[in-house]
Amino acid sequence: MLTRILFLLALLLIPGALRAEQSPAEKAGFAPKLTIYLAKGRANACGAGCDRWIAVEGEIDRDAAPRIRRFLAGVKDMQLPIYLHSPGGNVEQSYAIARLLRARKATARIGRTIVTACSGTQVDAECLNIKAARGEVAAELATRNAMCNSACGYLFLGATTREVAPDAAMGVHNSRLTFVIHGHPPPQAVAQYRQRQMVTADRDRAVFITAMGIGSELNDLIRTVKFESVHVLTRPELYRFGIDTRPMPETQWTLEKDVRPFIRKIALQKKGDGAAFRLLEWRLFCENKDRARLMFVREFDETAASKSTVTIAAGADKSAAFGRSPVRIGKYEVWSDPVAADTLKAMLAVPHLQVGETTSTPDGKSDLTAFDIDTSGLEPAWTQLQDSCPAVTSTPKPTGSLPAGASSSVSAAPPSP
């Protein structure tokens, strides 16, 4: 009898679709179909020497994979990075697209592509038509508030190089099976069918994640997160699962239109085996047309027993030295020093800045550690910031540790939309 009921059920069901999408409220601001197009920005918009990228955004619909396959077949430059911004959608389509990215050995990042020709929203009919037109569209990139949630995460795993900026988010949760029933099959038969499909879905997800070279811990975590919720992966989780294994991911320099505008850069520095990351932040303020002020903020290291001197150098000759002791504000320590015009010019001209920290050791010697940060976005952001700079005057400038109007708060988490 049961066999007959299940056979009847199979006839009455439209094939189910496994979903991992967000709620309607969370999908606000996204196109209902996955959109893919070529974008072109300013010099170094997507990294050193990179000004073109592939944008993939919107909800992952049931026909997304064939559409993405056709598009990628026409893009001969295999080096173009792919920027994702999606709330999720159809899981099976995400698996298929992920395999396309794996075949291309793609580089994928989480970021929002902002088309400059769109006068309304980025998802209204006029803007979607602009994105659907052939050729490249002029655009800007932003990682702040960018997301790749739910099924988008599976798509993201297909890339061989994966980068999640400190102010972007990758969210995961368990899936939900949706299907349509015609007629009135017994509830027990429907429940049994649903259970079997979910078991199959769990198995397929585990196989897929393993095939993408990701640790099984990710699948274990996903199973614990209810469909109605979402877990944003922490930086240690991204590192431990093998999703983004960079020891110091960083944002570009971006203009923040605050009460007093400033330019910000955030980085997360791996500590030890990657079980924790330390937040670093730089803020560049304009004091006048010829002088800036640079703040360096980082989480305080409770285990440090010695004082440090921090410098930022633009090549061998120009540096901004933070010679004074930092100000302690909550769990952060803050350095602040003026930057002369010639030093600022040198900073704008180089692809990387060298950050050095000299720490006194108990035996009276000093220990130097150093690392580089890139200057992507710094020059165009400074050009914009100069519009708000006061003219040069003979009035002495304040020498306090914090610029007037500057907030000491820092955050590497994506701000709420």
Task: Provide the CATH number for the domain around residue 97.
Answer: 3.90.226.10
Chain segment 360-380, per-residue pLDDT in tens: 777 777 778 889 999 999 999
- Last residue in a domain, options 210, 240, 270: 240
In a domain, 55, yes or no: yes
Q: In total, how many domains does the chain have?
A: 2
Banded model confidence at residue 212, pLDDT cuts 50, 70, 90: very high
Angle between helices 187-211 and 2-12 (to 10 degrees): 70
pLDDT at 229 over 50: yes
pLDDT of residue 414: 42
In a domain, 400, yes or no: no
Residue in this structure with the two tokens 């150093």, named with its chain if needed: 370
Average pLDDT score over residue span 172-200: 75
CATH number at residue 324: 2.60.40
Structural domain for 136, as ranges = 2-240
CB-count exposure of residue 24 (10 Å: 0-12, 13-18, 19+): exposed
Q: Let me know if residue 307 belongs to a domain.
A: yes
Domain boundary among 212, 240, 268: 240
- 249 in any annotated domain: no
Tokens matching residue 350: 């180089």
The angle formed by the CA atoms of residues 256, 261 and 264, to the nearest 5 degrees, is 45
- DSSP state, residue 144: T
Whether residue 155 is found in the same domain as residue 29: yes
Q: Provide the pLDDT confidence category of residue 147 given band limits of 50, 70 and 90.
A: very high
Do 232 and 315 share a domain, yes or no? no
Choice among 120-129, 152-161, 382-391, 408-417 with the minimum mean pLDDT: 408-417
Asked which of 240, 265, 290 is the last residue of a domain, the reply is: 240
Please calculate the CA angle 293-298-303 and round it to the nearest 5 degrees.
Answer: 140
What 3-state DSSP class applies to 282? strand
Residue 346 in 3-state DSSP? helix
Query: Is there a domain that residue 337 lies in?
Result: yes
359, 377 Cβ separation under 8 angstroms: no
Q: For 180, list phi and psi in degrees, rounded to 5.
A: -110, 135
Q: What percent of the chain has pLDDT over 90?
A: 59
Report yes or no on 407 lying in a domain: no
Q: Which of 16-20, 69-73, 121-125, 192-196 has the lowest mean pLDDT?
A: 16-20
Pair (41, 65) in one structural domain = yes
- Mean pLDDT over 232-243 rounds to 97
What pLDDT, on a 0 to 100 scale, did the predictor assign at position 143? Answer: 96
Pick the more confident residue, 14 or 330.
330
- Whether residue 37 is found in the same domain as residue 176: yes
Task: Tell the burial category of 409 from Cβ atoms under 10 Å away from its Cβ (0-12, 13-18, 19+).
Answer: exposed
Q: Which residues pair with 311 in a beta bridge?
A: 321, 356
Q: Which stretch of 197-201, 271-275, 386-390 has the lowest confidence by average pLDDT?
A: 197-201
Contact present, 130 and 114 (Cβ < 8 Å):
no
Can you list the alpha helix ranges (DSSP code H) found in 251-398? Answer: 341-349, 378-385
119-133, 215-229, 396-410: range with lowest mean pLDDT? 396-410
**Under a CB-based contact definition with an 8 Å cutoff, are residues 288 and 392 in contact?**
yes
Is the domain of 88 the same as that of 234? yes
Residue 165: C-alpha distances to residues 250, 268, 284 (Å): 6, 9, 20
pLDDT digits (tens, 9 = 90+) for 376-413: 999 999 999 988 887 766 554 444 445 444 444 554 44
Start-to-end CA span in the chain (Å): 54
Average pLDDT over all residues of the chain:
84
Instruction: Give the 3-state secondary structure of residue 104.
Output: helix
Contact 205, 219 (CB under 8 A): yes
Distances (CA, A) of 163 to 20, 25, 76, 109, 111: 22, 27, 22, 5, 10
Is position 246 within any domain? no
Residue 13 above 70 pLDDT? no
pTM of this prediction?
0.85
Tell me, yes or no, whether 161 and 12 share the same domain. yes
